[in-house]
Amino acid sequence: MSTPFPFTAVVGQDDLRLALLLNAVSPAVGGVLVRGEKGTAKSTAVRALSALLPEVDVVSGCRFSCDPGAPDPACPDGPHEAGTGTARPARMVELPVGASEDRLVGALDIERALAEGVKAFEPGLLADAHRGILYVDEVNLLHDHLVDLLLDAAAMGASYVEREGVSVRHAARFLLVGTMNPEEGELRPQLLDRFGLTVEVAASREPDQRVEVVRRRLAYDDDPEGFAARWADEEAAVRARIVAARELLPSVRLGDGALRQIAATCAAFEVDGMRADIVMARTATALAAWAGRAEVLAEDVRQAALLALPHRRRRNPFDAPGLDEDKLDETLEEFGGSEDGDPDPDPGPDGPGGGGGQPAPDEGPQGGDSAARPEAGEGEGDEPQSSVGGGEQAPVRAAEPFRTKVLSVPGLGEGAAGRRSRARTEHGRTTGARRPRGALSKLHLAATVQAAAPHQRARGRTGSGLLLRRDDLRQAVREGHESNLVLFVVDASGSMAARQRMGAVKGAVLSLLLDAYQRRDKVGLVTFRGSAGEVALPPTSSVDAAAARLESLPTGGRTPLAAGLLKAHDVLRVERLRDPARRALVVVVTDGRATGGPQPVELAGRAARLFAAEGIASVVVDCESGPVRLGLAAQLAGELGGTAVALDELRAESIAGLVKDMQQGNSRRAA
């Protein structure tokens, strides 16, 4: 086993270390979500924590790590007699992003359960992590149904595996730690709320602190065992402090004054539900125990709020997490009583790392658009050329977002689970049955019985009951929904800026981005203006990043529609190589005008027909306004093989079959 990097040698990252230690003291806090850019010691700190946890006593031979002093009466390997067990180090189990449901919760052999009447159960990662640490790197990239299972187990302290009436339950209490890079996408607010604490980490911009990070890392890489030995005393001190805090925790008093401050703080920041109050109470109690005190003070409440509330305040995916500390201090002062203390958080005399006094620096020019398709005539006024910046105008603020009509890809896909287009999935309504390919996971009971029934006499079965063989088993075929790549192709030319339409256009795209976030899509952004198309944002799971790029989008110049479409086509070609199962939906936001260069209209039509020929689903959001409308966007939609929807008609609860008029060949290909 490799020597882990010492926890006390992590440079800076005080909030991260404190949050991890509080969960080590009191697992009831509910785990921690670590958000931050890559290369900020997130994984290093989590792996280092496992070496600090005290050893656990387990029943010898039990695959579920039962405590010999109080064995689980429902343990699948039980029943166990209470008594002495075997001591072993606390485990840290890592959940890979690509793990299956069976790997997480365990695999139940349905074939043996039906044919032999036995519960043959192979434990999963939740059983391995019992009484230890379950670490999920890049938790925001984990499939939603796996995150649901994970957080349900963490909340209930048990894992349930149920298939076709066969049920297995085992204890699953662990310290849950998730890390994520917000640039790669956000968790749903409902899932954010299930993590007890959250911390934001970032690399220090101070050269001296960065030097210390590099110095320690190089020393560790050269001689891991020697480096760990030099930090052994500090590690032992923190380990002893965790044990002492655990022993003190049951006797820590959470007075009415502190409870009132907790409730007032959650109410002041308009946090939904009561989970925040409970988590704050548990965190403040753990903070007091970590500091060696038997009573919760105002400083504990303040620090608990900074760790437990920021991720619960997000009202939509574009809100940055955080807490107004001035408002927090005012609330604590207003509702403080005799239990008030120094509002400055101080977890203890040795700091959050418990480093025994060891110092540690923080780690941490073109004119306005003419009448678009030239042969169409003068439909709208041109944007006059500015004397500065070649016609470019300052970014326009987006209008308020709204609920949009549902845009979907026709046919039946097999991409990543989501909420947009129909797809064959592991979860959803049962639509049929087939022979299993590999291990059987979802049994179709009726089809299995139907397949076995004609052979009962030949198998010698004359009485009641049913004799099953492997060839009789049928796998359920399920249909649910998948997420898609929604590629926005936005016209940012001068004609779009005319009559102040860009604010409404940005508001519409922002609304569609919100819809993409809720449906778990990837998004990309291509813009075109002047003389070229530009990839403003390559396909990503971070809708926040797309919203930020949209907000700063400049406008002005001619309308190179063909260049924008060709750029989008290139983006889709590359993305198909990276993620061939994810289908694309192209949303072109334009008034349909095409100017600039030779034969702009002919080139735009030719580029659009590439999408139709490849069966790429597309929708044109028609941004044309005014009493005289040329219908150019509808013409573009026809060439794309898609459908047009007016900008002022995009606001709705649903739209049935918006892209059902796709070419018949496209529907056959998608199915």
Helix 256-268 vs helix 275-290: crossing angle, to nearest 10: 130
Whole-angstrom Cα distance, residue 66 to residue 79? 10
Do 55 and 202 meet the contact criterion of CB atoms below 8 Å apart?
Answer: no
- Out of 275, 314, 419, 609, the active site residue is 275
β-bridge partners, 167:
162
275 annotated active-site: yes
Neighbours of 277 (CB within 10 A): 17
Whole-angstrom Cα distance, residue 208 to residue 288? 33
Peptide bond between residue 359 and the one before it cis (omega within 30 degrees of 0): no
β-bridge partners, 529:
532
Do 479 and 579 meet the contact criterion of CB atoms below 8 Å apart?
Answer: no
Neighbours of 316 (CB within 10 A): 11
β-bridge partners, 413:
423
Give, in order, the Cα–Cα distances in Å from 560 to each of 214, 321, 645.
48, 38, 21
Whole-angstrom Cα distance, residue 93 to residue 47? 10
Whole-angstrom Cα distance, residue 437 to residue 295? 59
Do 436 and 473 meet the contact criterion of CB atoms below 8 Å apart?
Answer: yes
Whole-angstrom Cα distance, residue 284 to residue 290? 10
Residue 91 is given by DSSP the state P
Whole-angstrom Cα distance, residue 64 to residue 59? 9
Whole-angstrom Cα distance, residue 484 to residue 421? 7
Whole-angstrom Cα distance, residue 556 to residue 497? 7
Picking from 67, 83, 212, the residue whose alpha carbon sits closest to that of residue 130 is 67
Helix (H) or strand (E) holding 564: helix 561-578
What angle is formed at CA 541 by the lines to CA 537 and CA 547, rounded to 5 degrees?
A: 50
Whole-angstrom Cα distance, residue 662 to residue 76? 53
Neighbours of 53 (CB within 10 A): 19
Which residue's structure tokens are 């958080």?
345
Half-sphere exposure of 267 (CA within 13 A, CB side): 9
Active site residues: 275
